[in-house]
Amino acid sequence: MRVAIIGSGPAGFYAAEALLKRPDAVIDVDMFDRLPTPYGLVRGGVAPDHQKIKTVIRVFATTAARPTFRFLGNVRLGPDVTVEELRRHYHQIVYATGNEADRRLGIPGEGMPRCTPATVFVGWYNGHPDYRQAKIDLSVHRVAVVGNGNVAVDAARILLRTSAELEQTDIAAHALEALRNSQVREVFILGRRGPGEAAFAPAELKELGKMQGVDPVIAPGELARCAGSDSTGDKEKDRNLAILRSFAARQPRANAKKLHLRFLVSPTEIIADAAGNVAGLALEKNRLEPRPDGTVAARGTGEIEVLEVGMVLPAIGYAAERIAGVPYDGKARVIANEDGRVVDPAGRAVIANEYVVGWARSGAQGLIGEHKRASAHVVGHMIADGAGLETRALPDRDAIVSLLRERGVQPVSFSDWKQLDDVEVVRGARRGAPRDKIVDVEAMLAVLGQN
Ligand SMILES: Cc1cc2nc3c(=O)[nH]c(=O)nc-3n(C[C@H](O)[C@H](O)[C@H](O)COP(=O)(O)OP(=O)(O)OC[C@H]3O[C@@H](n4cnc5c(N)ncnc54)[C@H](O)[C@@H]3O)c2cc1C
Ligand SMILES: NC(=O)c1ccc[n+]([C@@H]2O[C@H](COP(=O)([O-])OP(=O)(O)OC[C@H]3O[C@@H](n4cnc5c(N)ncnc54)[C@H](OP(=O)(O)O)[C@@H]3O)[C@@H](O)[C@H]2O)c1
């Protein structure tokens, strides 16, 4: 059988691994990615000061070394190759395209300069080519990060790390330079619900209390104000509460940068100064209201305060992009599917031989390791559905590459990527970092002698 996997993040690689390890089938896997570089959010999302988690790429590189695996980077499904073409060249297709769009607060002022979605900020500091030219102005003193998830925590940490700490990481050189000159002294992480509902992981939260020259600050009474904050019945959330209580008990140092944690507030408007820059964030105080399913919702009380900040970073989640020819579930903002089988969003009829894994299947929830089992589960469906498919004659395996080249698209192979990888590692060694990323697709192709 011949399978196309679109997307080289964790979900795509775990699907490839599950397919290539099958003892009962000989499967050729072509993995496409719109970038010349593999690994999705492991390269473009995971925070640079969390290098250890990135070692998972060794597992993916082992999969890539299997003889029937082929990487076709720098090929975007949609403009460079269509779904129809993939259907002609492959027996089965797996979409592993992640969640690359951001969610919006939907409040006045959201589009103004210095209101930057986390997708942009994270992509910028991680050297994602899409965001290398993002305008991130760190001449402000106070920043609001909206959301209580791990991405909010990542963004706050990166804003407050010392440049000496960041230098040792694979942060993009342009971001390192900007953060070196940053004037940011205070960051506010704002949760719309209470501390007991916060989505961040205890380990990530705890790390905020151990940063060089940074004090976490929780105003007296802030935790008591949030009903139900003694125990949640959930181990992780209770650990969060214990950590937050320990933060609240600390005496902030006068000269330290401050990381404020606020709860039960929702932004209602981003306020501009006369020059059109962010000057503040209007916040409505919330109370918690039980939902029929036993969870709690934030409800506005009508009481408004203005938090003076010069920059707002909404970190309130991601959504899947629409891709031409791929069925989209507009409500869940994922590729329309039933348990990983792609379906027509209207009638829910299964579209034969097309599958979806990872965040494109389930939305932006979950850690890298969780995709191993989830992708293998979908591969189980592929094998069950695929009996006899291999008898359908396909064009020669290289025909897809010829088609792309005729169109002026230059696919990047895995050995090409290894060349880029070597260059980045050598560049990084100059500053004692694991790598210094090339952030521009043209420059990557130039290194490979392709433009
Ligand atoms: C900021 C951030 C930090 C995170 N940090 C951690 C962490 O520290 N630890 C942890 O366990 N988890 C972390 N996660 C979660 C983890 O990154 C995700 O669970 C995981 O990456 C999702 O895998 P995926 O393969 O579904 O998507 P992705 O990793 O997003 O991969 C999708 C791939 O598809 C490609 N693609 C998209 N559209 C197209 C197209 N049209 N044509 C071709 N290719 C396309 C993209 O270029 C990308 O390579 C983090 C997530 C974020 C957002
Ligand atoms: N170090 C790590 O392991 C790491 C790092 C980064 C990301 N990740 C993972 O990646 C996934 C995505 O992370 P994420 O932080 O983007 O998403 P997330 O965990 O879903 O958190 C999103 C946060 O935004 C809030 N929010 C949503 N809409 C809002 C609105 N309109 N106004 C105000 N707040 C709003 C949510 O509050 P409600 O709860 O009230 O909806 C929630 O606190 C998660 O599974 C995360 O664990 C892991």
Domains of the chain: 2-100+319-412 (3.40.50.720), 104-316 (3.50.50.60)
Q: How far apart are CA 271 and CA 302, in angstroms?
A: 18
Residue 313 near ligand 2, beta carbon < 6 Å: no
Q: How far apart are CA 161 and CA 155, in angstroms?
A: 10
Cα angle vertex 337, ends 81, 147, to 5°?
Answer: 95
List alpha helices for 53-162, DSSP H: 57-64, 83-89, 118-125, 150-160
Cα angle vertex 150, ends 307, 234, to 5°?
Answer: 105
Q: How far apart are CA 55 and CA 12, in angstroms?
A: 17
337 Ramachandran zone, left/alpha/beta (phi>0; psi -120 to 50): beta
100 alpha carbon – ligand 1 mean position (Å)? 8
pLDDT in tens, the chain (451 residues): 999 999 999 999 999 999 999 998 899 999 999 999 999 999 999 999 999 999 999 999 999 999 999 999 999 999 999 999 999 999 999 999 999 999 999 999 998 999 999 999 999 999 999 999 999 999 999 999 999 999 999 999 999 999 999 999 999 999 999 999 999 999 999 999 999 999 999 999 999 999 999 999 999 888 877 755 567 788 999 999 999 999 999 999 999 999 999 999 999 999 999 999 999 999 999 999 999 998 999 999 999 999 999 999 999 999 999 999 999 999 999 999 999 999 999 999 999 999 999 999 999 999 999 999 999 999 999 999 999 999 999 999 999 999 999 999 999 999 999 999 999 999 999 999 999 999 999 999 999 997 6
47 alpha carbon – ligand 2 mean position (Å)? 15
Residue nearest to atom 20 of ligand 1 (CA): 368
Q: Which residues line ligand 1 (CB under 6 A)?
A: 6-12, 32-35, 40-41, 45-46, 50, 53, 76-78, 96-98, 100, 122, 151, 154, 323, 358-360, 366-368, 371
Q: How far apart are CA 80 and CA 246, in angstroms?
A: 53
Lookup: tokens for 204:
């990530």
Q: How far apart are CA 109 and CA 141, in angstroms?
A: 20
Lookup: tokens for 83:
């779904």
**For 379, how many CA atoms within 13 A lie in the half-sphere containing its CB?**
28
CB 69 within 8 A of CB 29: yes
> Residue 97 CA: which ligand 1 atom is closest?
34
Best residue for ligand 1 mutational test, from 97, 154, 322 (most atoms within 8 Å of Cβ): 97
Q: How far apart are CA 376 and CA 15, in angstroms?
A: 6
318 alpha carbon – ligand 2 mean position (Å)? 8
46 alpha carbon – ligand 1 mean position (Å)? 9
Q: How far apart are CA 40 and CA 75, in angstroms?
A: 14
Identify the burial level of 115 via C-beta atoms within 10 angstroms of its C-beta, where 0-12 means exposed, 13-18 middle and 19 or more buried.
Answer: buried
CB 126 within 8 A of CB 151: no
Separation of first and last alpha carbons in the chain: 34
Residue nearest to atom 28 of ligand 2 (CA): 316
pTM over 0.85: yes
> Residue 106 CA: which ligand 2 atom is closest?
31
- Chain centroid to Cα 424, Å, comes to 22
